[in-house]
Amino acid sequence: MITELANLTAMEVDALTDIDGGLNLTDGHARLPLSAEQAAIVARIPAMFTEASRRAFPDIEREAHAAFLRAVGQHTAPIGTGRILSCYSSTLATDIVARALPTGTTIAVLHPTFDNIADLFTTRGLSLTPLSEAQLLEQDWPGPPVGAIVVTHPNNPTGLVTPEGHLRSLAEHAARHGQTVVIDASFRGQVLAAQYDTYAVLETAGADWIVIEDTGKLWPTHELKIGLLAYSARTGLPIDRAFSESLLAASPVVLQLITALAQDWENGGRVRAAAAVERNRAAVREAVEGAGLHLADPDSQISVARVELPADGPDSSLLYKDLVTRGVHVLPCAPFHWADPESGQRFIRLSLARPSEVVRTGARKLAESYRRLSAQPVVPTG
C-alpha cells in the first residue's frame, strides 16, 4: 500500500509557490533561459498589442495555427476550416473533449500518463480502462464497449513515441469499430520522430479523431501559451458547444507570439532547446549513477527524465517527501500510474527544461537524499 499523494498538478503548484524559493523540477513547462532570438521576439510584444487592434482576429489565429503546425510537421492539419480551436491551455482542451464525450462512455487511456488526463475524464462522468504501453507497442487495441482511445504522443513521463505504423493500425481499428481516437501531442514539438503527419494518417484511415497540441512545453513564455484542439469532420461530438461554454477566444497577442516563436523553432530554435535538454539529461544521469541509480528511459527525448529506484531501497513517495524538506521539488511517479499507483512507486521524475545549474543541483541532492535514506531502516509508506 502507498500513502495517498496529492495529484501531480497540486505538487507542481506547491513547487511554483514555494515561498522559500526551492528548486522546481516538477512541471514539464519550458523554463529554460530565453535564447537571444527568443528574447528579441519577446521584446516585440508591445507591437503585437498594436497589431492585435489593427488586424482581424481570424487572420491572426490562422497565421498562428499555420506557423505552429508547420513547425511540428503537421502539414495536413485542417487549418482554416474552423476545426482547430485555440484554448488557453491543453488542459482546458482536454476538459472540453471530456465534456463533449457522452456521459458514461467507456474510454481507454494510455497507462502510465499524466494523471490530470485521467482525472478530467473521470470528473466528467466517463468510465476509464487502462491501455498499457506494452499493449500499444503490440497493437493490442481495445474493442467495444470502448468508445474512445486516448494516446499521449510522445508519452509523459516515459517519452514513448507511437510509431506511425502503430497509429495507422489504431486508426483503422477505430474506424472499423466506430471509436474516436484522441491524441494528446503536447510534447510533439520536442521530438522529430513524433512529427510525422498524424492528421494524414488519421484521415487516410477514415477514423473519427481529436488531436490536442500544446505550445507550453516548447518555449519559456511564463504561461503565455495556447492549446490547440483539432477534430475531424466526421465527429458528431458537440465540441464547438463545449468550447463556447468555456471561453471566447485565446489572446491575439499570444497567438502572434506563438507565430514568431514557431518560426524561430524551425530556424534553429528546436535544435538549441534540444541540446540544452540533452545536456541536462546527461547531468542527471551522471549524478544518479553515483548513487547506484539509473535513468528509466535513456532514449527519451522529451524534457523530463524518470529515475528508477531499486526495489530494496526507499520508494519515490518517501524520497519526494524528503527532498521537499530540503527545498527540492520533483514528482513521484505513482500518480502517473493512475490505474495502479503501486506500479509507479519505483520511479521519480525530474524536469529538464531548466537552467543547467538548477538541474545539476537538483539531481545531486536527489542522489544525496537517496543515499542517506538507503542507509536508514526502510519504513513502509502505507
- pLDDT tens digits for 58-116? 999 999 999 999 999 999 999 999 999 999 999 999 999 999 999 999 999 999 999 99
How crowded is residue 166: how many other Cβ atoms within 10 Å of its Cβ? 18
149 beta partners: 108, 181
Answer yes or no: is pLDDT of 379 > 80: no
C-alpha–C-alpha distance, residues 20 and 37, integer Å: 32
- What's the pLDDT at 345? 97
Placement of cell 526502510 in the chain: 378
Q: C-alpha grid cell for residue 284?
A: 542527471
Answer yes or no: is pLDDT of 301 > 80: yes
Q: C-alpha grid cell for residue 24?
A: 522546481
- pLDDT tens digits for 159-174? 999 999 999 999 999 9
Answer yes or no: is pLDDT of 294 > 80: yes
* 328: amino acid identity, one letter: V
Q: C-alpha grid cell for residue 132?
A: 498499457
Q: What is the pTM of this model?
A: 0.95
Do the beta carbons of residue 80 and residue 62 sit within 8 Å? yes
Domain range summary for the chain, segments of one domain joined by +: 8-35+268-374, 47-263
Answer yes or no: is pLDDT of 378 > 60: no
In this structure, what DSSP letter does residue 5 have? P
> Please, what is the Cα angle at 348 between 341 and 195, to 5 degrees?
95
CATH superfamily of 8-35+268-374: Aspartate Aminotransferase, domain 1 (3.90.1150.10)
Do the beta carbons of residue 373 and residue 366 sit within 8 Å? no
- pLDDT tens digits for 261-281? 999 999 999 999 999 999 999
Report the topology of domain 47-263.
Answer: Aspartate Aminotransferase; domain 2 (3.40.640)
Answer yes or no: is pLDDT of 296 > 50: yes
Average pLDDT over all residues of the chain: 96
Backbone angles phi, psi at 69, to 5 degrees: -65, -35
- pLDDT tens digits for 305-358? 999 999 999 999 999 999 999 999 999 999 999 999 999 999 999 999 999 999
- pLDDT tens digits for 8-66? 999 999 999 998 889 999 999 999 999 999 999 999 999 999 999 999 999 999 999 99
From 286, 268, 319, 296, select the one nearest 38 (Cα to Cα). 268
Do the beta carbons of residue 48 and residue 256 sit within 8 Å? yes
